[in-house]
Structure 1
Amino acid sequence: MENHEVLLTREFNAPRELVFKVWTEAEHFCKWWGPKGFTLEIHKMDARPGGGFLGCQKSPDGMSIWGKFVYLEVNAPEKLVFIQSFSDEEGNIVRAPFNPNWPLEIINILTFAEEDGKTTVTFSGGPVNASEEEMAAFEAMKPMVKQGFDGTFEQLDQYLASQQ
């Protein structure tokens, strides 16, 4: 996965416990996760190893996109690891609506480090069990993936500011 991963680091002006909490509790997560302008309706969020997330993002024009996570590691407040997929409303994995070759599973690994009341989140992620076509699709979209997470992290930054 190393050469096919996205790596981002972002510092937030908030304590690590709070930053971890807003990643793992539905009432917070739904307020900032996803592309700008989208809303997130959470149907299930059980942030523990083996637990899952199921949610529906709605675009400003009303398009619904379902997604799911399977949590592999939840080590509060230091580390969070989950597999992310597009899904239907029952949580069955489906192909991405924007690219038939998008990987079915993406691993996301987040670490949270606090210094002087600020938290640095290091995010890395990439395809799991992917075909060559899926790896190529992910590689081609990496700049857009990074741009999307930059926007999501901007929303997280604003949300954290409102929580202190």
Structure 2
Amino acid sequence: MTAYANGLEITRTFDAPRELVFKVWTDPEHFAKWWGPQGFSLHVAKMDVRPGGMFLGSQRSPEGFVMWGKFTYQEVTPPEKLVFVQSFSDEEGNTIRAPFDPNWPLEIINILTLEEENGKTSLTLQGGPVNATEEELAAFEKMRPMVQQGFGGTFAQLDAYLASQQ
């Protein structure tokens, strides 16, 4: 059970050791090669993976549309857990509204846990809006299928990237 409203939970198993899966989530050279919607490129401006640290980056669509986003890391426990609050931002890292919906939650918490068994890593991602208004919760709920589909595509890219690293 999640401690936030409208939470998501996605579990996926990767044919890779937990240390490698954790590394590709926390090393900017790796992260830039798989994170985000399929077809988008990611520019990592900053990645300071420690409690209170920040990831700041921009995603470019195939059509050239650029969106900035940030993670503020809450908990970092190598190689088993990452907790971060995700937001849309400007180039300086100031939180802004999502470009696609003025009611999208300003903050989404993501709790990533990794468990290894027989050389394979089970990744569980839980998350949802934090400090959200009723309108923001409704917007998240309406977009839930697209969010899940988006993570499915991102995790497919992660799977392919992990295979290329072994």
Query: How high is the TM-score relative to the length of structure 2?
Result: 0.98
2:134 maps to 132
Q: Are residue 148 (structure 1) and residue 150 (structure 2) matched?
A: yes
* Partners of 2:96 and 2:106 within 8 A in 1: yes
What amino acid sits opposite 2:56 in the alignment?
L
| Number of aligned residue pairs | 164
Note the residue ranges of structure 2 that are not aligned, 5 or more in a row.
none
* SS, match of residue 102 in structure 2: coil
Aligned equivalent of 1:98: 100
| Match in the other structure for 1:54 | 56
Q: Is 2:78 the counterpart of 1:76?
A: yes
Aligned to 2:144, what secondary structure does the other structure show? helix
**Equivalent residue of 1:66, what SS?**
strand
Distance 2:152 2:144 in 1: 12
CA deviation digits over 1:82-113, x for unaligned, max 9?
Answer: 00000000100000011000000000000000
Match of 2:16 in 1: 14
- Offset of 1:76 from its aligned partner? 0.3
* Offset of residue 2 of structure 1: 4.4
Q: Is the 8 A contact 2:4 2:130 kept in 1?
A: no
Aligned equivalent of 1:66: 68
Moved over 2 A (4+): none
Determine the C-alpha separation between the residues in 2 that align with 1:90 and 1:63: 18
**Runs of at least 5 residues in structure 1 that lack an aligned partner in the other structure:** none
1:35-57 deviation digits (Å, cap 9, x = unpaired): 00000000000011110000000
RMSD (CA atoms): 0.7
Q: Deviations over 1:51-75 (max 9, x none)?
A: 0000000000000000000000000
2:39 alignment partner, one of 37, 40, 43:
37
- The separation in 2 between residues aligned to 1:3 and 1:42, in whole angstroms, is 30
AA matched with 1:156:
L
Matched AA of 1:113 = E
Percent identity, aligned pairs only, is 70
1:100-148 deviation per Cα after TM superposition (whole angstroms, max 9, x unaligned) = 0000000000000000000000001100100000000001110100000
- The residue identity in structure 1 corresponding to 2:59 is Q
Instruction: Return the letter of the residue paired with 1:59.
Output: S
Q: Distance in 1 between matches of 2:136 and 2:65?
A: 24
CA distance in 2 between partners of 1:85 and 1:163 (Å): 29
The separation in 1 between residues aligned to 2:9 and 2:55, in whole angstroms, is 23
The SS at the match of 1:23 is: helix
